[in-house]
């Protein structure tokens, strides 16, 4: 129904944005990964969207790229994965990392995503192994070599990016992100880490 929505960003938090399109406000669910890439409030934003209709709800989900949206929609075909878990997956793993984990049957990496247990991770690998490669121009082996050696470095960047989008200075945002990761070394939920970083920087 909606391929993409483009307009002025009037509100954002780690779970949703509000975009003004010619006087009409669209509430769009986003991932924490998308949140870290948003412009400042008042800036122009284009999100590629997926419109999900359920018995008691109609929800727009937004993504930075059409490929990310396509992967989100394919993930929802996996048994036991709905929009919430699919959004968590594309928000906490880059498409490259997800492709690599599936091709290598790396259940451990996938199960680190909030809400994804071992059984769900195993089912995802089995059901997605033949689907994901067709969505990328590269081969699985091409993706495997690009997995970051330190996933926490990417997490620190995501936290800092989210803080900068909220109006904080880059240097202070990076310092808060690093301190939060040190204090919450066992926590992998990005939304929690962002909230804790906000407490430090405020």
| DSSP-assigned states of every residue in 4-37 | EEEEEEEEEETTEEEEEETTEEEEEE--HHHHTT
Percent of the chain at pLDDT above 90? 34
Residue 78 is encoded by which pair of tokens?
A: 């996996």
| DSSP-assigned states of every residue in 139-180 | -HHHHHTTS-S-HHHHHHHHHHHHHHHTT--HHHHHHHHHHH
Look at the block and give the residue holding tokens 């975009």: 19
Out of 2.60.120, 1.10.8, 1.10.3470, 3.30.200, select the CATH number for domain 151-201: 1.10.8
The string of pLDDT tens digits covering residues 58-91 is: 899 999 999 999 999 999 888 889 999 999 999 8
Q: Collect contacts of 192-199 with beta carbons under 8 A, ≥24 apart.
A: 193/155, 193/159, 194/14, 194/32, 194/35, 194/159, 194/162, 194/163, 197/159, 197/162, 197/163, 197/173, 198/163, 198/166
The string of pLDDT tens digits covering residues 110-165 is: 998 888 999 999 999 998 887 776 665 444 333 333 334 445 666 787 788 778 77
Confidence band, pLDDT 50/70/90 cuts, at residue 27: very high
What pLDDT, on the 0 to 100 scale, is given for residue 153? Answer: 65
Residue boundaries of the structural domains of the chain? 4-63, 66-144, 151-201
What pLDDT, on the 0 to 100 scale, is given for residue 170? Answer: 74
CATH superfamily of 66-144: 5' to 3' exonuclease, C-terminal subdomain (1.10.150.20)
Residues 6+ apart with CB under 8 A from 171: none
Mean pLDDT of 31-46: 90
Mean pLDDT of 156-183: 81
Domain 4-63 identical in fold to domain 151-201: no
Out of 2.40.50.140, 3.40.50.300, 3.90.110.10, 3.40.50.10490, select the CATH number for domain 4-63: 2.40.50.140
What pLDDT, on the 0 to 100 scale, is given for residue 140? Answer: 39
With 70 as the cut, is the pLDDT of residue 173 above it?
yes
What pLDDT, on the 0 to 100 scale, is given for residue 156? Answer: 80
What pLDDT, on the 0 to 100 scale, is given for residue 114? Answer: 87
Rounded CA-CA distance 22/14 in Å is 24
Handedness of CA 151, 111, 53, 136 (dihedral sign): positive
Cβ–Cβ < 8 Å for 74, 67:
no
Mean pLDDT of 90-115: 88
């Amino acid at each position: 129904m909606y391929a993409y929505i483009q307009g002025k960003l009037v509100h954002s938090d780690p779970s949703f944005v509000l975009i003004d399109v010619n006087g009409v406000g669209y509430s769009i669910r986003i991932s924490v990964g998308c949140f870290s890439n948003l412009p400042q409030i008042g800036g122009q934003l284009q999100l590629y969207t997926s419109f999900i209709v359920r018995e008691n709800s109609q929800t727009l989900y937004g993504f930075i790229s059409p490929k990310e949206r396509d992967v989100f929609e394919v993930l929802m075909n996996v048994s036991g994965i709905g929009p919430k878990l699919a959004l968590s997956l594309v928000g906490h793993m880059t498409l490259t990392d997800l492709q690599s984990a599936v091709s290598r049957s790396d259940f451990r990496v996938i199960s680190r995503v909030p809400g994804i247990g071992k059984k769900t991770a195993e089912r995802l690998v089995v059901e997605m192994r033949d689907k994901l490669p067709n969505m990328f121009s590269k081969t699985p082996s091409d993706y495997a070599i690009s997995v970051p050696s330190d996933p926490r470095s990417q997490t620190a960047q995501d936290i800092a990016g989210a803080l900068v989008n909220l109006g904080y200075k880059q240097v202070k945002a990076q310092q808060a992100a690093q301190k939060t990761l040190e204090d919450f070394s066992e926590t992998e939920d990005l939304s929690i880490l962002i909230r804790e970083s906000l407490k430090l920087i405020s």
